[in-house]
């Protein structure tokens, strides 16, 4: 996980902008403006250069904790799974978008990443929770809207 953080920080420092990141066959990393959501696209997952953006969204089910993100272009399919990383510990200067697990009565291990497909929100099946570093990760095969929630 430490290597991932170093790579993310260095890529963020050298050029993530509001217009997005151009990612192609060599793969790449796209980070939300607030640093909370990271999309890692492996080499070979795309066959052409694509501009990918992560923007905050208001479209979400009531069970969502924190910020909902829309990753564009929605519907883009990868030929190999990309990794979505939600940093639960990242601070938010916007109090409405911040969340406190203890205050919400939620345990780290109960967190899941949700993906929206055909107007339905469903948990991503292969999620992994790193309670020490406060990350929740899962594989994604297409771009859509994503959020974090607690299992019911």
> Average pLDDT of 134-149?
94
pLDDT digits (tens, 9 = 90+) for 10-38: 343 334 444 589 999 999 999 999 899 99
pTM above 0.75, yes or no: yes
Q: 3-class DSSP state for residue 70?
A: strand
> Average pLDDT of 56-69?
84
| 58 φ, ψ (degrees, to nearest 5) | -100, -5
Determine the Cα–Cα distance for residues 92 and 2; give it in Å rounded to an integer. Answer: 22
Domain boundaries, the chain: 2-150
Determine the Cα–Cα distance for residues 52 and 76; give it in Å rounded to an integer. Answer: 10
Residue of 137, 83, 144 lying closest to 113 (CA atoms): 137
List the alpha helices (DSSP H) in the chain. 2-13, 101-104
Instruction: Looking at mean pLDDT, say which of 13-17, 95-99, 129-133 comes out highest.
Output: 129-133
> Average pLDDT of 36-56?
96
C-alpha triplet 6, 74, 17: angle, nearest 5°: 40
Residue of 119, 107, 111 lying closest to 144 (CA atoms): 119
Q: Look at residue 99 in the predicted model and tell me its pLDDT.
A: 63
Residue 110 predicted with pLDDT over 80: yes
Residue 45 predicted with pLDDT over 60: yes
Q: For 103-109, which contacts have Cβ atoms below 8 Å and span 24 or more sequence positions?
A: 104/65, 104/150, 106/65, 106/150, 107/150, 108/134
Residue of 128, 114, 46 lying closest to 80 (CA atoms): 46
Contact present, 20 and 69 (Cβ < 8 Å): no
Top-tier CATH class for 2-150: mainly beta
Q: Look at residue 75 in the predicted model and tell me its pLDDT.
A: 93
């Amino acid at each position: 996980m430490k290597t991932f953080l170093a790579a993310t920080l260095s890529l963020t420092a050298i050029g993530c902008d509001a217009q997005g990141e151009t990612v192609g066959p060599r793969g790449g990393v796209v980070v939300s403006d607030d640093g909370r959501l990271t999309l890692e696209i492996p080499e070979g997952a795309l066959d052409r250069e694509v501009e990918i953006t992560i923007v905050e969204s208001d479209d979400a089910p009531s069970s969502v904790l924190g910020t909902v993100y829309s990753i564009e272009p929605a519907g883009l399919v990868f030929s190999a799974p990309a990794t979505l990383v939600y940093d639960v510990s990242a601070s938010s200067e916007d109090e409405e978008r911040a969340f406190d697990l203890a205050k919400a009565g939620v345990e780290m291990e109960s967190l899941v990443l949700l993906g929206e497909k055909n107007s339905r929100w469903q948990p991503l099946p292969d999620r992994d929770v790193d309670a020490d570093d406060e990350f929740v990760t899962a594989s994604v095969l297409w771009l859509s809207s994503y959020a974090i929630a607690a299992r019911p």
